Amino acid sequence: MSNEADVEVVVTAVKQSTKYGDASEATIRELAAEAVRQHKKTKPAIKAVRARLHSIMAPYLGDPDYTAEAARLDAAFAAHDTTAIDAICQDCLYAHLSTRERLPIMADFYERIFAITGRPQSILDIACGLNPLALRWMGLALVSNEQLAARSGRVRFYAYDIHEPRIAFINHYFRLEGLPELARVQDVAMDFPQEAADVALFLKEMPRFERNYGGRGRPLLEALRARFLVISYPTISTHGGRNLTNRYREFMFQLIQGHDWPVTELLFAGELVFIVEKKSEDSKSGFA
């Protein structure tokens, strides 16, 4: 069998698997090509791709039932029931560990970040998970559908992830909020986001990203066309309960070493945030 045919076999097998079939085909294909180069047979190549996807997608962090939650949101929006909409968004955020941990600090989190960056008109949420469902706690002056026609400066919320049902669900939610469907299935390690924005969020993913894609973190941050980068880290390890604050502070400064980017640090219960201003250097290339 040719290499290309082997890659096809691996892609088809992984795409059909219950656990990893939700991953973007482009990501699976890239990993399959690499695995086929390393393994003579397709069976170990499939196993290798599944192992990489396990680390990249972290399915153990949890997912809501997307179909059921979309139906609940439809009913709540149709009834203009704000309390129910908020409760469903919170249920979805609760279903994934990263956002579950952020729930108790969520409103304060965005208020303090945007007090530094200014209230953004445009956001990139990179490796977003379910975080776009926190939109109602970002203080971005969402307007109701009746006001939509009159609204000029709608927030542009770009969200990127490789998990297909998650992105479809986020676009469904954006549509119900009257926002443009700017969530994208995009592998940001292979394909850096090109959109310009006021603020780019890269929350609780950098250590895993560096581990999975060895050294792509710094070029990604350099490529992002955002005035402010908001990069966060968990302060406590998921498994051992170790305090990671000092380790991640050092890691962050190494990552952006040599750049003349002012940094503000915010420490929340459970999350360490760095707000990096790229303005000085990138104003040369002229982003939004």
List of residues 6+ apart from 214 with CB closer than 8 A:
none
Token readout for 286 is 């002229």
Q: How far apart are CA 248 and CA 265, in angstroms?
A: 12
Is-contact 281 259, C-beta < 8 A? yes
The one among 10, 46, 155, 162 contacting ligand SAM by CB under 6 A: 162
Q: Which of the ranges 12-20, 78-86, 125-133, 144-152 carries the binding residues for ligand SAM, by CB under 6 A?
A: 125-133
The one among 49, 189, 199, 224 contacting ligand SAM by CB under 6 A: 189
Q: Closest CB to ligand SAM among 92 and 127?
A: 127
Q: What residue is closest to ligand SAM based on CB?
A: 129
Q: Which of the ranges 83-91, 116-124, 201-209, 279-287 carries the binding residues for ligand SAM, by CB under 6 A?
A: 201-209
Q: How far apart are CA 86 and CA 76, in angstroms?
A: 9
Report, in Å, the least distance between residue 40 CB and ligand SAM: 27
Token readout for 244 is 């990671």
Q: Tell me the helix, strand and coil percentages in the chain, rounded to 5.
A: 50, 15, 30
Interstrand relation of 263-268 and 271-277 (parallel, antiparallel or unpaired): antiparallel
Q: How far apart are CA 93 and CA 110, in angstroms?
A: 15
Report, in Å, the least distance between residue 189 CB and ligand SAM: 4
Q: How far apart are CA 176 and CA 189, in angstroms?
A: 30
The one among 20, 114, 160, 248 contacting ligand SAM by CB under 6 A: 160
132 binds ligand SAM (CB under 6 A): no
Would the CA dihedral through 24, 30, 34, 39 be positive or negative? positive
161 binds ligand SAM (CB under 6 A): yes
Report, in Å, the least distance between residue 165 CB and ligand SAM: 11
Q: Which of the ranges 9-17, 127-135, 220-228, 236-244 carries the binding residues for ligand SAM, by CB under 6 A?
A: 127-135
- 10 residue type, one letter: V
Q: Closest CB to ligand SAM among 156 and 204?
A: 204
Q: Could you list the residues that contact ligand SAM (CB under 6 A)?
A: 56-58, 61, 98-99, 127-129, 131, 160-163, 187-189, 203-205
